[in-house]
């Protein structure tokens, strides 16, 4: 399995996931296929939605069919994940198959990702039962790890007890599963207990390996995707599209509607464009058509989320989505209790400015970190907005330039540049960096370029933060002592870095652990010899765990 981050925001990531040579991009949806109730075939899904990963239930298959190869049987060449019958276990209390048998069966039929027979304890079962069930689940996980040939899900249980979820995450991490589903959350979803869901996800994330995908087991409603992706969930499985269709219910990213209560079809998918509400209700194919709309709505939300991760606007997007249900709004506020953990992984510099959408914006870890970094600046804090008291020199600098601030013109001068530099790189650095420099303005009459003998730095228009040239990097390298703002490259890649190739995570040896993703950094060799400068693409914790992906996107290298 390969899992490689392409873009990130919050704890969310757009990543490449490769299993058995088949590539998909996460976050992603795995539609549940039930061959006993065929509604939309995998082939049709592939054609309509470009579905490249599906999930089926191996216990149901085992009971009802004689299967040699799952890909042939389902006529699907994408990734096939199978569940184990755990859900039937939760519903009926008992099933007639052992953990060993169901794992061996999944080996036999050639699934891409198997699941062992975990015990999904209901959230509010008593503590003793939850603990007993969890011990059995962990034992079964260990057994399955030895029996399974290929990728394996390591489902995390522990009911609503956070100490058990932590224990499960720590123990299961030892067996190096390929994907970590968070289990038994369906009852919480049915009850809209998104606050408990948020606490469970964040507890598990904190103790699971950051370089493995996390699947929110049984979650298929688009209402909760944005929030749970922000919290670090990568995979979702949806039976909801079909179950809800059977029940006359219409899925949207802002909630569930009953066709009988609606006047219009407020969507532009092919189904809702072709049919009026009355025609849809009268159609003989109503259930299938409704299931198709439900899938369109579900895939659409995933695409919007991925787009917003690339834009680094996921927090803004989530703050709009949580307004679709009060329980989501309360759940969002739970994030505050996990701010330290999230802050270390969340990018500190974003492509999109911070939107102040209301009181809850204050809980973002980035706001806390920015306030901490304001202490680097000695200039008087003479300006304020709903989030910050800050020096006017930072009025155009991210994140102080919150959307909605309009009346902020001020005279840029060398002093204001020093303030920005101190904020970005540390107290006192601005004065030293800007010694014997001249500035050049942009066409819009704003200071944009800092020159010594050559160009040293550019003040980026988007967020009024500095990017360095190789001469600028040399100057900063002299000003800041090791290990500040540095990422050390392994000796073997030094020639490649000097050619301007990116530093890969695998070859990043050590780094300033206070750095945050998307900051401008210095790249050095093992003797603190400067090689170049660029943008840090991962957080320090991700640098530690990810073998794959770019660590520093190189902007400029020193000329030898």
Q: Which residues are catalytic?
A: 83
Strand pairing partners for 210?
none
> Please, what's the b/e burial string for 231-260 (b: 16 or more CB within 10 A of its CB; e: otherwise)?
bbbbbbbbbbbbbbbeeebbbbbbeebebe
Nearer Cβ to Zn ion (59/241): 241
Any idea how long the chain is? Answer: 560
Instruction: Please give the size of the binding site for Zn ion, defined by CB under 5 A.
Output: 4
Distance CA 402, CA 270 (A): 38
Nearest residue to the partner ligand GUN, using Cβ: 183
> Of 293, 334, 448, 477, which one interacts with Zn ion (CB under 5 A)?
293
Helix (H) or strand (E) holding 9, with range, is strand 2-9
Among 10-18, 180-188, 523-531, 533-541, which window interacts with ligand GUN (CB under 6 A)? 180-188
| Separation of alpha carbons 18 and 545, rounded Å | 17
| Residue 267 site contact among Zn ion, ligand GUN, none (CB < 5 to 8 Å, cut-off depends on kind) | Zn ion
Is residue 332 part of the contact set for ligand GUN (CB under 6 A)? no
Which among Zn ion, ligand GUN, none contacts residue 269 (Cβ within 5 to 8 A by kind)?
Zn ion
- CB atoms near residue 265 (< 10 Å): 21
Q: Which H or E element spans position 457? A: strand 455-459
3-state secondary structure labels for all residues of 160-200:
CCHHHHHHHHHHHHCCCCCEEEECCCHHHHHCCCHHHHHHH
The piece of 83-91, 158-166, 223-231, 251-259 that touches ligand GUN (CB under 6 A) is 83-91
Binds Zn ion (CB under 5 A): choice among 147, 267, 277, 558: 267
Contact 331, 322 (CB under 8 A): yes
83's contact among Zn ion, ligand GUN, none, with CB below 5 to 8 A by partner kind, is: ligand GUN
Between 11 and 272, name the residue whose CB sits nearer to Zn ion. 272
Judged by CB under 6 A, does residue 137 bind ligand GUN?
A: no
Whether 379 contacts 419, CB under 8 Å: yes
Q: Cα–Cα distance between 389 and 366 in angstroms, integer?
A: 15
Q: Which stretch binds Zn ion (CB under 5 A): 28-36, 155-163, 287-295, 380-388?
A: 287-295
SS (H, E, C) 110-155: CCCEEECCCCCCCCCCCHHHHHHHHHHHHHHHHHHHHHCCCEEECC
Interface segment toward ligand GUN; rule CB under 6 A; list 33-41, 179-187, 378-386, 409-417: 179-187
Taking CB under 6 A as the criterion, the residue among 82, 115, 353, 429 binding ligand GUN is 115
83 part of the interface to ligand GUN, by CB under 6 A: yes
Q: Closest CB to Zn ion among 44 and 544? A: 44
Q: Which does 183 bind (CB under 5 to 8 A by kind): ligand GUN, Zn ion, none?
A: ligand GUN
Q: Which of 42, 183, 220, 399 binds ligand GUN (CB under 6 A)?
A: 183
Q: How far is the CB of 83 from ligand GUN (least distance, A)?
A: 5
Of ligand GUN, Zn ion, none, which one sits near residue 198, judging by CB under 5 to 8 A according to partner kind?
none
13 binds, among ligand GUN, Zn ion, none (CB under 5 to 8 A by kind): none
Where residue 537 falls (left for φ over 0; alpha for ψ -120 to 50; beta otherwise) is alpha
The yes or no reply on residue 184 touching ligand GUN (CB under 6 A) is yes
Which residue spans within 49-117 are E strands per DSSP?
53-57, 79-83, 113-115
CB of 218 or CB of 534, closer to ligand GUN: 218
- Residue linked to tokens 């090791």: 482
Q: Is 186 in the site for ligand GUN (CB under 6 A)?
A: yes
One of 269, 439, 447, 509 touching Zn ion (CB under 5 A) = 269
Cβ proximity to ligand GUN: between 117 and 420 the closer is: 117
Q: Least distance to Zn ion from the beta carbon of 262, Å?
A: 12
Please state the φ and ψ torsions of residue 241, each to the nearest 5 degrees.
Answer: -55, -40
Q: What is the gyration radius of the CA atoms in the chain, in angstroms?
A: 26
Distance CA 57, CA 106 (A): 10
Q: Peptide bond before 389: cis, by omega within 30 degrees of 0? A: no
Does 58 help bind ligand GUN (rule: CB under 6 A)? no
Considering only the stretches 155-163, 270-278, 305-313, 334-342, report the one whose residues sit in contact with Zn ion under the rule CB under 5 A. Answer: 270-278
Three-state DSSP state, 533: strand
In the complex with ligand GUN, the residue whose CB is nearer, 24 or 81, is 81
List contacts with Zn ion (CB under 5 A).
Answer: 267, 269, 272, 293
List contacts with ligand GUN (CB under 6 A).
Answer: 83-84, 86-87, 115, 118, 120, 155, 183-184, 186, 217-218
């Amino acid at each position: 399995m390969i899992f490689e981050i392409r873009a990130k925001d919050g704890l969310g990531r757009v990543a490449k996931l490769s299993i058995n040579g088949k590539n998909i991009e996460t976050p992603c949806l795995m539609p549940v296929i039930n061959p006993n109730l065929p509604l939309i075939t995998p082939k049709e899904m592939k054609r309509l939605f470009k579905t490249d990963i599906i999930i089926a239930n191996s216990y149901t298959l085992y009971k009802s069919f004689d299967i040699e190869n799952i890909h042939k049987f389902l006529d699907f060449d994408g990734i096939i994940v199978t569940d184990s019958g755990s859900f039937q276990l939760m519903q009926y209390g008992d099933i007639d198959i052992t953990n060993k048998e169901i794992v061996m069966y999944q080996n036999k039929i050639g699934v891409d990702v198997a699941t062992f027979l975990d015990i999904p304890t209901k959230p509010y079962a008593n503590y003793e039962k939850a603990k007993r069930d969890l011990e059995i689940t962990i034992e079964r996980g260990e057994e399955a790890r030895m029996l399974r040939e290929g990728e394996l899900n390591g489902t995390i249980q522990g009911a609503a007890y956070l100490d058990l979820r932590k224990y499960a995450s720590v123990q299961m991490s030892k067996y190096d599963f390929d994907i970590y589903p968070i289990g038994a959350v369906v009852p919480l979803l049915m009850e809209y207990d998104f606050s408990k869901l948020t606490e469970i996800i964040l507890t598990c994330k904190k103790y699971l390996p950051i370089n493995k995908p996390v699947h929110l087991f049984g979650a298929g409603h688009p209402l909760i995707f944005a929030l749970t992706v922000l919290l670090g969930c990568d995979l979702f499985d949806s039976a909801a599209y079909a179950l809800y269709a059977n029940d006359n219910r219409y899925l949207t990213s802002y909630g569930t509607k009953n066709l009988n209560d609606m006047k219009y079809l407020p969507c532009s998918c092919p189904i809702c464009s072709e049919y009026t509400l009355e025609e849809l209700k009268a159609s003989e194919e109503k259930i299938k058509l409704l299931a198709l709309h439900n899938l369109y709505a579900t895939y659409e939300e995933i695409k919007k989320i991925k787009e917003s991760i690339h834009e680094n606007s996921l927090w803004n997007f989530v703050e709009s989505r949580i307004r679709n249900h009060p329980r989501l709004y309360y759940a969002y506020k739970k994030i505050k209790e996990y701010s330290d953990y999230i802050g270390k992984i969340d990018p500190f510099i974003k492509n999109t400015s911070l939107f102040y959408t209301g009181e809850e914006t204050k809980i973002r870890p980035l706001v806390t970190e920015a306030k901490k970094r304001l202490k680097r600046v000695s200039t008087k804090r003479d300006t304020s907005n709903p989030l910050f008291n800050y020096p006017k020199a930072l009025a155009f600098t991210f994140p102080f330039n919150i959307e909605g601030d309009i009346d902020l013109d001020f005279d840029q001068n060398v002093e204001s540049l020093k303030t920005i530099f101190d904020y970005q790189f540390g107290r006192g650095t601005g004065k030293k960096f800007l010694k014997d420099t001249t500035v050049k303005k942009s066409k819009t009459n704003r200071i944009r370029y800092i020159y010594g003998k050559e160009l040293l730095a550019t003040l980026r228009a988007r967020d009024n933060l500095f990017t360095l040239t190789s001469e600028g990097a040399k100057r900063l390298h002299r000003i800041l002592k090791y290990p500040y703002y540095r990422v050390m490259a392994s000796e073997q890649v030094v020639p490649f870095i000097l050619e301007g190739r990116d530093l890969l995570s695998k070859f990043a040896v050590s780094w300033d652990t206070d750095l945050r993703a998307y900051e401008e950094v210095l790249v050095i060799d093992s003797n603190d010899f400067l090689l170049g400068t660029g943008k840090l693409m991962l957080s320090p914790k991700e640098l530690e765990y990810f073998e794959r992906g770019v660590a520093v996107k190189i902007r400029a290298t020193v000329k030898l």
